[in-house]
Amino acid sequence: MSATTTIQLFVFLLAGFVGMQAINRIPPLLHTPLMAATNAISGISLVASLVLAGSNEGDLATVLGTIAVACAVANIVGGFLITDRMLAMFKRTPTATEAQQVGDGASSVTKS
Amino acid sequence: MIETLIQLAYLLAAFFFIMALRALGRPESARRGMQLAAFGMAVAVLATLLHARIVSYEWLAVGAMIGAVVGYPLGMWVPMTAMPQRIALSHAFGALAATLVGVGEYTHNAATGSLAGGHVLALGLEVLFGGLTVTGSLMAFGKLQEILPGRPLTFRGQNTMNLVLLAAAVIGLGWLIVSPNEVWVFAAMLAIAVLVGILFVLPIGGADMPVVVSLLNSYAGLAAVATGFAIDNNILIIVGALDGLSGFILSIAMSKAMNRSFANVLFGAFGSAEAGG
């Protein structure tokens, strides 16, 4: 195993741990928005798609890369817009009790 | 010099993504968290445009434009009640991107004869996670949209079949490490992934689908991690790991919020089918 791979494994381990800890004990109110936001974040595969589409490594690579770029951009644009719309609904609730009521509504949508 | 600049930008992007995830966990800062994530994404994408392998930009622009045209209605015109299935559809897009990159990288490297064992292992895992997320998400979308029947579908020998497919995938990965140039093994991995995605969602009822969508999010993240290992890209590994593990924790938390155990959501249909029959 090369030194680069070893370091990458460490990076993976530590980043995974951060991912686990960062959203620990998240209130049910935020389950659906977080799911939408991490969905948008998973569009990070755009980075790899861009490299493949622009690398000029033959027609197949360009075609696959271009479709991949389109898919990843659709994921990112759609994901962030929908998260924003969802979170904008929470904004109009000034008190904690009202936010809780909205939360119950949101989580019942999740369950249905 | 430019390579250093890219890596520093990736470091900055990783910082934004981690802060974003933290902020998303609290109602008062959730919206700022989303903005931080979007900013981190912008930094990562702009830095990638400087990558040494990118020599022409016209197809990038074409792809990005098509993506924006498809993504905008997905984000703005879908009613709030249709949220879980829209997220599932968006997953299918993101995972399809990862899968296509895996296939593209494999065929390119196979043509130049520069496939190494570890590299192909990463590409194999990428199409495996990517492929099962694509079909799994489409299945989840179909069930939530009621295109497909929402009730759990089970058939005899389903468990055995899943185990056989899993074993085949593990053997296939091992095979690719030993002889990376076997194209048909790589194609078989893709076929297995597509099949596993369908079979995995089939026995789960429509009401439990949001948990599955969240779990598929986790798989999409792991596909991004595998891509990162395959093309030596740290931002893919970091963000993929953040996404993968947070998605996993989130699906467990969602099961708990429904007073169900995680295992019960994923495999509950088998228990009830056995009890019923």
Report if residue A112 sits inside a domain.
Answer: no
Report if residue A20 sits inside a domain.
Answer: no
Highest mean pLDDT among B71-75, B76-80, B122-126 belongs to B122-126
Average pLDDT estimate for A38-51: 92
Partner-chain contact B63 A66, CB within 8 Å = yes
Report if residue A52 sits inside a domain.
Answer: yes
Average pLDDT estimate for B102-120: 86
Check residue A22 and give its pLDDT: 85
Report if residue A85 sits inside a domain.
Answer: yes
Partner-chain contact A77 B221, CB within 8 Å = no
Residue B44 to residue B50: CA distance in whole angstroms: 10
Residue A112 has pLDDT above 50, yes or no: no
Report if residue A79 sits inside a domain.
Answer: yes
B160: closest CA of chain A, how far (Å): 30
Domain containing residue A83: 31-92
Average pLDDT estimate for B70-92: 86
Better pLDDT: B192 or A104? B192
Nearest neighbour of A70 by CB, restricted to B31, B63, B101: B63
Check residue B118 and give its pLDDT: 82
Report if residue A62 sits inside a domain.
Answer: yes
Check residue B241 and give its pLDDT: 95
Report if residue A11 sits inside a domain.
Answer: no
Nearest neighbour of A68 by CB, restricted to B26, B97, B229: B97
Partner-chain contact A22 B246, CB within 8 Å = yes
Residue B6 to residue B154: CA distance in whole angstroms: 49
Average pLDDT estimate for B132-136: 94
Residue found under tokens 């891509």: B227
Measured on CA atoms in the order B22, B23, B24, B27, is the torsion positive or negative? positive
Interface predicted TM-score (ipTM)? 0.89
Residue A33 has pLDDT above 70, yes or no: yes
pLDDT tens track for B198-207: 988 888 887 8
Computed over every residue of chain A, the mean pLDDT equals: 82
Check residue B275 and give its pLDDT: 39
The count of structural domains within chain A is 1
Better pLDDT: A33 or A104? A33
> Which pairs count as long-range contacts for B157-163, CB under 8 Å and 24+ apart, including other chains?
B158/B199, B158/B202, B158/B203, B158/B270, B159/B270, B161/B199, B162/B196, B162/B199, B162/B200
Report if residue A107 sits inside a domain.
Answer: no
